[in-house]
Structure formats: C-alpha cells, structure tokens
Amino acid sequence: MKTQVGIIGSGPAGLLLSQLLHLRGIANVVLERQSREYVLGRIRAGVIEPGAVELLREARVHAWLEREGQIHEGIGISFGGRRHRIDFRALTGSCVTVYGQTEITRDLFAARDSLSGVIIHDAEDVTPHGIETDAPWLTWCKGGASHRVDCDFIAGCDGFHGVSRRSIPANVLRTFEKVYPFGWLGVLSRTPPVTREVTYNHHERGFALCSMRSETLSRYYVQCSLDDHIDEWSDDRFWEELRRRLPGDIARALVTGPSIEKSIAPLRSFVAEPMRHGRLFLAGDAAHIVPPTGAKGLNLAASDVHYLSRAFAAWYESGDAGAMDTYSDHCLRRVWKAERFSWWMTTLLHHFPENGPFGERIQLAELDYLVNSRAAMTALAENYVGLPY
C-alpha cells in the first residue's frame, strides 16, 4: 500500500487532519489500534474555541455542531459562597461553543466514511520506520498478518501513550512535565445543568466544576486524592460532596441522578519538543497535555492540525517546505501559552494543603482581584476563548 500521509491515531486530531487533507486532494491512511466503538466510547471535554469551530467548518463537519452546540458567552467563578460571571462577549467580542468531543469524533468518522476515507481499526503494533529518510513507512499487524504502507510523511496523532513520540531519538527529544498532587473525579448524569454556563468553584474542601454536554446531560467534577478509587465514591457520596463545595443557591438548585459514567483523571502538564523530527510530525496529545482546567486539550490539537494541514498543502501544491520547517516553532508558541493559562487556572482554583493558610489567602486575594478588575477578566477571557493561530 502507498499513500502520501500516514496518520497514526483516529482521535479528533487524526480524523480532522485526514479530512482536511482529503479535501485538498492529499491522499492519506489512518491507522488506529482500537476499535471504532472503543474510540467513540471515550468521554472527553467539549468546550470549543472559535478557531476550532472555524476549522471544523472548513472540514465540512459543522452541521451538527451548529445545530446542537451551545453558545456560551461567559463562565462563572465562585468563591466565598458567591458566583461571579466573566462575560466573554463584553470583554472580547467572542465566545465558546459547548459540544462534546465524542460528538465531534462521530461527525468526523461520518465525514471520512462518506468520502471513502481509509481508516484501519484494530491495527496492532503500529511502528514508524525511516522517519529520517525521504521515504518513511509504517508497519502494523492485523488478523495475524503483517502490513505496510509507504508514505511521504507520518503524522503522529496517537495520544500521550502512543508510539509516535517514542520514535523520536532520545538525544533529540526534550520533555517538560508537571504532575499535580490530585485528580478530578468526574460524573456524567442525565440531569439538567445546575448553571447555564460552566462554573468553576474554589472551596477550602477542594475544587469543583459544573459543566454540561446538553440541556439534559450534565458533567460534574470534584477535586480528589490520587489515592482514591472509584468504588469508594458512591453516587450519593459524590452529590453530597459536590453540594458542599458550591455556593448555597447553586447547591439548592442542583438536580441529582444516577451516574452514567464515573472516572478519576490525574492532572498533568506536559510538552515534548520538537514536534517534528525528519518526516514525522506530532500533533495533539502526542506532543502535549494540559490540565483540563483551562479547556485547552482539544483546542490545542485543533491548532496543531491547522498548522500541519496547511504545511502539507503548501508542500503538495507548490513544493514549499517553509511551513513544514516552522511547524514545531509555530505550534509550540501557542502550546506554551495554553500551558501557562491552564497552569494558572489550576493553581488559582484548586486546594493545595501544602501551601497552608498563607497560600489560601493569596488565592482568595487573587480571585477577588480577578472578578473586580476588567483588565484581569479580559486577560482570562482572551485566553479562554482562544489566542489567534
């Protein structure tokens, strides 16, 4: 088999890149080690920046997003028993869209299927070869047989635990990481959201987040210990703890119900540099991870795909390698700004017992400054709705 771009991973980054390349006449093959059902079963965040919405529109997968997505013109930040609103529209003239990552992935699969895109699921032991040559290739196993695809370039969109980043020599790759000393316990429930917009809650017992997937589907999180186990958290215990961390009026309005999905996610900040080595390009979680506090994970993957799709297009349309040569630098400038914002939101809103009473007072002082300063609110809003590509 031969193609122009071999793509590892069928998450949103891999599928979006595949779709954009196809629309520009660039042949590609997507290799995915999991089944489609498994990929679609992953529950992820769904706050979409305007830039990512435009990219989905360019990829012609915007119909359901525009029909079902919820436009949010702000967020809430609560502390000291009160909720304060950050008005994105008034501060920046922009807003975000709430639309689940699972739905985006489903839309992208449907688009690739409608154009007869080649997506190979259950591809085991995917391995890049010859990435430092002009003729790289990929091998994998399926059904007891070995397979190979020759390509011009390889796009590694296979996530944090994938093979792509590990294929870059250790003497080339640099990694930067911060692991936070807590996790998020998340619950998905078929209940109406308690607030009309996403609300971040700072509390002495720990952080809490009230978010939503639709008008009837809610997603809630509470900060928890990394030593906690899911079986220790009954639904009743979760709802009780969530209520304790919310302002009184919001707690009283909370509608509870059985959990559809429940999980504990650790929080980390991670960046790999460079995002290109030879003919291998990293995109999305393969290159960087952000704590979910700033809603940047999916949006950073989209910005990577923005740069990468245009770099490949320039090469195939005119032989111009300039955008490929600057791909890593362009991506990393935006990545590090998103890492900074996500780190700041995380340190501002979570409970850090090791910081003691002084640290708690500093957090409260910064929160008070934030909600009473137009300049501070504007800085938050600009980063939340997304910095320009």
Q: Which residue has the tokens 């996500």?
A: 342
DSSP 347: H
On the 0-12 / 13-18 / 19+ scale of CB atoms within 10 A, 290 is buried
Domains contained in the chain, CATH given: 5-72+97-176+268-345 (3.50.50.60), 181-267+350-385 (3.30.9.10)
- Output the pLDDT for position 126: 97
- Output the pLDDT for position 42: 77
Tens-place pLDDT, residues 207-246:
999 999 888 999 999 999 999 999 999 999 999 999 999 9
What sign does the CA torsion over 20, 332, 166, 177 have? negative
Enter the tokens of residue 103: 């739905």
The yes-or-no verdict on residue 80 having pLDDT over 90 is yes
Tens-place pLDDT, residues 172-212:
999 999 999 999 999 999 999 999 999 999 999 999 999 99
- Catalytic annotation, residues: 72, 200, 292, 296, 384
The candidate with the shortest Cα–Cα distance to 254, out of 199, 185, 205, is: 199
Cα–Cα distances in Å, from 113 out to 14, 25, 35, 120?
14, 16, 15, 12
**Helix then strand then coil, % of the chain, to nearest 5:** 40, 30, 30
The yes-or-no verdict on residue 76 having pLDDT over 90 is yes
State how far the Cα of 362 lies from the Cα of 376, in Å rounded to an integer. Answer: 16
Tens-place pLDDT, residues 99-113:
989 999 999 999 999
- Output the pLDDT for position 46: 84
Cis before 274? omega within 30? yes
Question: Band of the pLDDT at 138, cuts 50, 70, 90?
Answer: very high
The mean predicted confidence, pLDDT, of the chain is: 96
Mean predicted confidence (pLDDT) in 275-285: 98
Of the chain, the percentage scoring pLDDT greater than 90 comes to 97
The yes-or-no verdict on residue 43 having pLDDT over 70 is no
The yes-or-no verdict on residue 45 having pLDDT over 70 is no
pTM given for the model: 0.94
- Output the pLDDT for position 313: 98
